[in-house]
Amino acid sequence: MPDFSTISQAPEIRALVQENLLERAFHDALFPRLMFRAEAQPQSWPDNVGDAMVFTGTGLITPKMRPLTPGSDPGPSTYQSEQWSAQLQQYADSIDTHMPTSITAIANLFLRNAQQLGLSAGTSLNRMVRDRIGNASESGNTVADGAQGPLTTLRVKRLNGFTTARRPDLAAGSPVRFAAVSANNPLKILTGAALTANTVVGFTPDTAGDELGPGVLTLSAAATVIDRDPVLALDRTSVVRIGGGTRTDDISSGDILTLAGLRTGVSRFWSQNVPEMPDGRFHAHIDPVAQNQIFSDAEFQRLLTSLPDYYMYKQFAIGEILNTVIFRDSENPTSDTVIGGDTATFSLDDPFAPELWSNGSASTGVPIHRVLMTGQSAIFEYYQDLSGLITEAGVTGKVGQPTINNNGIDVMCDRIQLIIRAPLNRLQDMVSTSWKFIGDWPVRTDVTTGDAARYKRVLSIESGA
């Protein structure tokens, strides 16, 4: 292609002109809005109480509507209790900056590295909250991993929701807290296309310590299943699937998100007396593909007939509808935003348990899209005040809370500590920058009221693409 620049084309002139000059700046990358972490209610972890805490919720006393027999006293009533727990964990990352390189780069590399690390911190904790909500929203829902039986050891795609049980109806069962499944504390389940009753009395994860990914359930009675038969816990979370069914495999590419699916989710919350968020509405996170689908729904289109200038079409946004605030969230769990999602494999580097493809295959399955809905007090963020880690001995470097802005968007970095360590190598020119967070995100249970579902304040609406 000819060069039509304003500079003379004479070789002796062009030799005097500097070409391909590097702009002395780093431009921001495309970055998502981090909204999941805002769903968690922050709670400070008390000092000197250990690294695990148990929380107790109560059920209701059964209404008494029979009149008393004259001359008799009412008998004493009782109510059930339940417990859930949180355990402090430390999350962190670090990046090193070679200062001689920083001062010779096109722009300050040290500042850019700190910026990138802050973005990583915000994304990491946001996805942690997303995964906790997503895992609870499909707890106790999985499928068999291969044809098996009759056997008392059942391999399943996910252990999520099958490793603990609460059995106040059994003398030796756990009366209040969700404890590990055992012969004395079994978990009731249904297996196979016929949904045959059975119980889980033990489990063996493929990775030691993992209670979300693939593994083997030990059953009290032999079961026979074919590959990807449903395996459902009786206290499973209710899942709304567009088109119906008992597993992700029942979703086809034509089962796009509809307004009826959202209505079903809201009515589910109301039927279980789930309170709205402090703003008076439920919250729903929806990915851009699912949002595009709902604009194709006939019911949604009829709702907006003759309203071409309404903000929903002008801004391509749903906003508030059906007593729910809809957040368009590009961090919703899809095969693109979950590590291992593009190959339909579970990864402890991103512990999101629900499957992202029907049939468990990225080559033959349908990608699954999920609307994640929450009600009030669904998830908490218990955090430790990291200023308590600094003693009179001081620190070698600087400690603060990062303030990050990317493309004009403020990144949520609350309660995250930024540490800039003084250069400690022999030449004192390698600066280490780190972020740290200590806390946990428990999702509370509500098994003592309403139906048998363990989690009622979170909900997943599945659709295809």
Domain-located, residue 365? yes
Tokens of 215: 């593994």
Q: Residues 458, 314: one domain?
A: yes
Averaged over 55-78, what is the pLDDT?
92
**Cis omega (within 30 of 0) for bond into 150:** yes
Q: What Å distances lie between residue 354 and 143, 301, 310, 315, CA to CA?
A: 11, 31, 36, 31
* Mean pLDDT in residue range 277-288: 96
Check residue 211 and give its pLDDT: 97
Residue 208, pLDDT above cutoff 90: yes
In a domain, 74, yes or no: no
User: Based on the domain organization, do 263 and 198 belong to the same domain?
Assistant: no
- For the question of whether the overall pTM of this predicted structure is more than 0.85, the answer is yes
| pLDDT above 90: residue 296 | yes
In this structure, the answer to whether residues 132 and 164 fall within a common structural domain is no
Query: Residue 164 is encoded by which pair of tokens?
Result: 């603990």
Residues 194 and 52 in one domain: no
Percent of the chain with pLDDT over 90: 72
305/205 same-domain check? no
**What is the DSSP pairing of strand 196-205 with strand 239-241?**
unpaired
> Per-residue pLDDT tens for 122-152?
999 999 999 999 999 999 999 999 999 899 9
The half-sphere exposure of 279 on its side-chain side, counting CA atoms within 13 A, is 11
Q: Specify if 5 maps to a domain.
A: no
Question: Is 181 within 8 Å of 236 (Cβ atoms)?
Answer: no
Classify residue 12: in a domain, yes or no.
no
Q: How many domains does one find in the chain?
A: 2
| pLDDT of residue 185 exceeding 60 | yes
Residue 2: the pLDDT is 56
User: Rounded CA gap, 167 and 217, in Å?
Assistant: 18
Mean pLDDT of the chain: 91
110 pLDDT band, cuts 50/70/90, is confident
- The per-residue pLDDT for 213 is 97
- Whether the predicted pLDDT of 19 surpasses 80: no
Position 19 in a domain: no
**In sequence order, what are the beta bridge partners of 241?**
462
Q: How far apart are CA 57 and CA 404, in angstroms?
A: 38
Q: What pLDDT is recorded for position 306?
A: 80
Look at residue 7 and tell me whether its pLDDT is greater than 80. Answer: no
pLDDT at 456 over 60: yes
State which of 206, 235, 264 marks the end of a domain.
235
Give a yes or no: residue 4 inside a domain: no
Its sign, for the CA torsion 41, 400, 125, 91, is: negative
- CB half-sphere exposure, 184, CA atoms < 13 A: 7
Residue-number span of the structural domain to which 90 is assigned: 32-60+80-139+237-465
Q: Are 223 and 150 in contact (CB under 8 A)?
A: yes
Among 205, 235, 265, where does a domain finish? 235
Q: Give one DSSP letter per residue of 341-386, joined into a string.
A: GGGT--BTTB---S-SBGGG-TTTSPBPEEEEEE-TTSBEEEE--G
Q: How confident is the model at residue 394 (pLDDT cuts 50, 70, 90)?
A: low
| 428: in domain | yes
* Residue-level pLDDT at 3: 61
Average pLDDT over residues 168-179: 95
Whether 223 and 147 map to the same domain: the answer is: yes
Of 176, 210, 235, which residue is a domain's last?
Answer: 235
Whole-number pLDDT of residue 234: 98
Pair (150, 252) in one structural domain: no
Question: How far is Cα 2 from Cα 11, in angstroms, rounded to an integer?
Answer: 14
Q: How many CA atoms lie within 13 A of 328 on its CB side?
A: 13
Furthest-apart CA atoms within the chain: distance in Å: 117
E strands present in 36-147: 41-44, 52-58, 81-87, 89-98, 141-143
- Residues 32-43 have pLDDT tens digits of 888 999 999 999
Do both 162 and 190 map to the same domain?
yes
Tell me: pLDDT of 106 over 80.
Answer: no
pLDDT digits (tens, 9 = 90+) for 366-386: 999 999 999 999 999 999 988
Q: Are residues 441 and 404 in the same domain?
A: yes
Is pLDDT above 80 for 241? yes
Residues 206 and 241 in one domain: no
> Sheet harboring 148-156: ordered strands across?
141-143, 230-233, 187-191, 196-205, 215-225, 148-156
Residue 3 domain flag: no
* pLDDT band at 409; cut points 50, 70, 90: low
pLDDT of res. 16: 78
Question: Do residue 222 and residue 367 come from a single domain?
Answer: no
- 225 and 274 assigned to the same domain: no
For the chain, what is the radius of gyration of the CA atoms?
27
